[in-house]
Amino acid sequence: MKYKIYVSLFALMLFAGNIKASQKNLSDSTNLNYSAFKRSLSISGLMQLRYTYSLSDNIDVNGKNYEGTGITNSFSLRRIRVQTRANINDHFDANILMNLAEFSADPKNKVLENAFVRYHHSKAFNIQFGQFRPFFGPEDMLPADIIKSLDYSNQYNLFGASGWQSFQLGAAVYGDFNSNGKLPLHYYAGVDNGNNRNQPADNDNRKHYYGRLEADLAKDFRIGFNGGTGTARNKTGNAWGADITATLPLSNRLKFELMSEYKEGANFAEYIAASDAERLDLYQYKNRGFYVFPNFRYECRHPRLRSVEFSSRYEYLQENYRINDNLRQTVTPMISLEFADDYYARLEVGCIIDMYKHNIPLSTQYTHNTGVVQLQVRF
């Protein structure tokens, strides 16, 4: 483990030397202090208000099978986010993102989502340090207010529980190469604790390492590959994935958008949760999943109705497919009405159709349908 620390420190020293060597000499003596150059502060917010209704008998609003009486419809606060971004100068910025809706339940280890500082050196090299989403798939690049569905995929949540995605504490470098060439490339590499957000410290001396490479094969057509390695209880596990995102104009007002991803990796969360007597080798705890997400967007361009979107994401997910496999398939048809550009005001109406290979009574692993209406406002 120590050699990894030495290698990381050596790499940072090289980066620091490169940054210092590449800075231009200031010939203009009128501005020798960049402490507050381009300093600014912005505050933004997001409200997602949701009404959920169970369309299946003996299933509550959380998708759990019950006996007797259950809650089958409810209003809820899905996200109430407040974000602050401070540009320290033209190279440094700081970002804080909080989800106040977490206070409606147990807020322990929640509420605070993003808390990171970035250093922008050039298009080819940037550093990010703090708590943020690791760059481990296309969904990690999308904030919740512009995802074109009711929520992130089940795959995203499952891999987030094991430290591969969602909010983690760590550091990353990223940048673009050949931006004006025939094959623009985007790279990401990072290291994080891998024990999820808002933890006082890592739960072991080992870290999650990951890398991602994206290539723009054509305009609005991108492929991505990512891989990573991590540990739990001194056992090493890996994860990898591949994805495609594309946009195809069909007419002056209609376009087709597609996102598809496959991912598999170690299920650290289930491995740690198992009792010592029943715990198998980490190799047996494996997730894998696939989804395809087509979206049709029609630009209405009316003063009060800017666009209408139709989508239907299909997900194929296997949690611990080597032991106790229970295939989960999910279809999420949805219509979205956009009342202000860039999703500043949007109404979403959809249905979540969950299908399990084996129904487990009195659990959330039970075939069911759920209707959802969600109103979103950004500011």
Domain containing residue 152: CATH number: 2.40.160.10
Which residue range forms the structural domain that includes residue 361?
38-378
Q: Which residue has the higher pLDDT, 23 or 191?
A: 191
Q: Is 287 a domain residue?
A: yes
> How many domains, the chain?
1
Work out the average pLDDT over 81-99.
Answer: 97
Query: Residue type at 42?
Result: S
Percent pLDDT > 90 in the chain is 79
**pTM here?**
0.87
pLDDT of 30 reads 61
Nearest of 204, 284, 181 to residue 237 by alpha carbon: 284
Q: Is 15 a domain residue?
A: no
pLDDT value at 20 more than 60: no
Q: Is 334 a domain residue?
A: yes
Q: Is 33 a domain residue?
A: no
Query: What average pLDDT does the structure give for the chain?
Result: 91
pLDDT value at 11 more than 90: no
Using CA of residue 162, residue 166, residue 168, residue 171, what is the dihedral sign? positive
Q: Is 178 a domain residue?
A: yes
Report the distance separating Cα 83 and Cα 111, nearest Å.
12
pLDDT value at 16 more than 90: no
pLDDT value at 29 more than 70: no
CB-CB contact of 321 with 340 (8 Å) = no
Work out the average pLDDT over 207-220.
Answer: 95
Strands 208-218 and 221-232: antiparallel
Q: Is 30 a domain residue?
A: no
pLDDT of 22 reads 45
Q: Is 7 a domain residue?
A: no
Q: Is 3 a domain residue?
A: no
CA 15 to chain centre: 27
Condensed to tens digits (0 to 9), the pLDDT of residues 159-188 reads: 999 999 999 999 999 999 988 888 999 999
CB-CB contact of 241 with 210 (8 Å) = no
Condensed to tens digits (0 to 9), the pLDDT of residues 323-364 reads: 988 999 999 999 999 999 999 999 999 999 999 999 999 999
Report the distance separating Cα 94 and Cα 263, nearest Å.
31
Q: Specify the 3-state DSSP secondary structure of 187.
A: strand
Condensed to tens digits (0 to 9), the pLDDT of residues 228-258 reads: 999 988 899 999 999 999 999 999 999 999 9
CB-CB contact of 91 with 120 (8 Å) = yes
